[in-house]
Structure 1
Amino acid sequence: MAHAQKIVGRRAGDRVILGAVIFLAFLWVVPVLWVLILSFKANSELMLSTGSAFRLPYTLKNYADILASSGVFRWFFNSVVVASLNTLATLILASLAGYGFARTEFPFKNVIFVLVLLGLAIPEQAVIIARHQMFTDWKMHNTYLALILPGLSNAFGVFLMTQYFRSIPMDIDEAAMLDNASRFKIFWRVLLPLTIPAQATLGIFTFLACWNDYLWPLISATKPEMFTLTVGIASTQTNFAQSEGLGFLMAQAVFAGLPVFIVYLFFQRYIIQAVAGAAIR
Structure 2
Amino acid sequence: MSGVHQPKGSRAIMIAVGLFAAVWLLPVAWVLILSFKPNEVLMMSGDPVWKPPFTFKNYINIIETSSVFRWLINSAIVSVSATVLVLALSSLAGYGFARLHFPFRNTIFVLVLIGLAIPEQAVIIARHQLFTNWGLHNSYVGLILPHLSLPFGVFLMTQFFRGIPQELDEAAILDNASRWRTFWKVLLPQTLPVQATLGIFTFLLVWNDYFWPLISATRPEMYTLTVGIASVQGNFAQSEGLGYLMAQAVFAGLPALIVYLIFQKQIIGAAAGQAGR
* Shorter-chain TM band: over 0.9
What are structure 2's unaligned runs of at least 5 residues? none
Q: Verify: 1:81 aligned to 2:77, yes or no.
A: yes
State the AA in 1 paired with 2:255. Answer: P
| Match among 144, 149, 161 for residue 148 of structure 1 | 144
Q: Distance in 1 between matches of 2:154 and 2:193?
A: 15
Normalised to the residue count of structure 2, the TM-score between the two structures is 0.97
**In structure 1, what is the equivalent of residue 14 of structure 2?**
18
Pick which of 226-235 and 42-51 moved more. 42-51
Could you report, residue by residue, the CA deviation over 1:123-164 in whole angstroms, capped at 9, with x for unpaired residues? 000000110000001111000000000000000000000000
What are structure 1's unaligned runs of at least 5 residues? none
State the AA in 2 paired with 1:98. Answer: G
**In structure 1, what is the equivalent of residue 40 of structure 2?**
44
Normalised to the residue count of structure 1, the TM-score between the two structures is 0.95
| Match among 179, 182, 187 for residue 183 of structure 1 | 179
Q: Distance in 2 between matches of 1:147 and 1:216?
A: 7
Cα pair 1:47 1:243 within 8 Å, conserved: no
Pick which of 271-280 and 184-193 moved more. 271-280
Q: Verify: 1:65 aligned to 2:52, yes or no.
A: no
SS of 1:53's equivalent in the other structure is: coil
Q: Verify: 1:91 aligned to 2:99, yes or no.
A: no
**In structure 1, what is the equivalent of residue 195 of structure 2?**
199
**In structure 2, what is the equivalent of residue 264 of structure 1?**
260
Structure 1 residues 149 and 244, CA gap change in structure 2 (3 angstroms): closer
**In structure 1, what is the equivalent of residue 169 of structure 2?**
173
| Match among 126, 129, 133 for residue 129 of structure 2 | 133
Could you report, residue by residue, the CA deviation over 1:150-194 in whole angstroms, capped at 9, with x for unpaired residues? 000000000000000011000010011100011111111111111
| Match among 265, 270, 274 for residue 274 of structure 1 | 270
Alignment identity in percent?
Answer: 66
Pick which of 142-151 and 39-48 moved more. 39-48
Cα pair 1:212 1:230 within 8 Å, conserved: yes
Q: Distance in 1 between matches of 2:20 and 2:160?
A: 30
Q: Runs of at least 4 residues of structure 1 off by over 6 A?
A: none
| Aligned-residue offset at 1:280 | 1.2
Structure 1 residues 75 and 50, CA gap change in structure 2 (3 angstroms): farther
Structure 1 residues 235 and 50, CA gap change in structure 2 (3 angstroms): farther
| Aligned-residue offset at 1:243 | 6.3
**In structure 2, what is the equivalent of residue 106 of structure 1?**
102
Q: Distance in 1 between matches of 2:173 and 2:226?
A: 48
Q: Distance in 2 between matches of 1:99 and 1:12?
A: 45
**In structure 1, what is the equivalent of residue 237 of structure 2?**
241
Cα pair 1:45 1:52 within 8 Å, conserved: no
Cα pair 2:91 2:154 within 8 Å, conserved: yes
The Cα RMSD (Å) is 1.5
SS of 2:7's equivalent in the other structure is: helix
SS of 2:233's equivalent in the other structure is: coil
Q: Distance in 2 between matches of 1:39 and 1:248?
A: 6
Could you report, residue by residue, the CA deviation over 1:22-73 in whole angstroms, capped at 9, with x for unpaired residues? 1111011111111000000011111124644211111000000000101000
Q: Distance in 1 between matches of 2:68 and 2:276?
A: 45
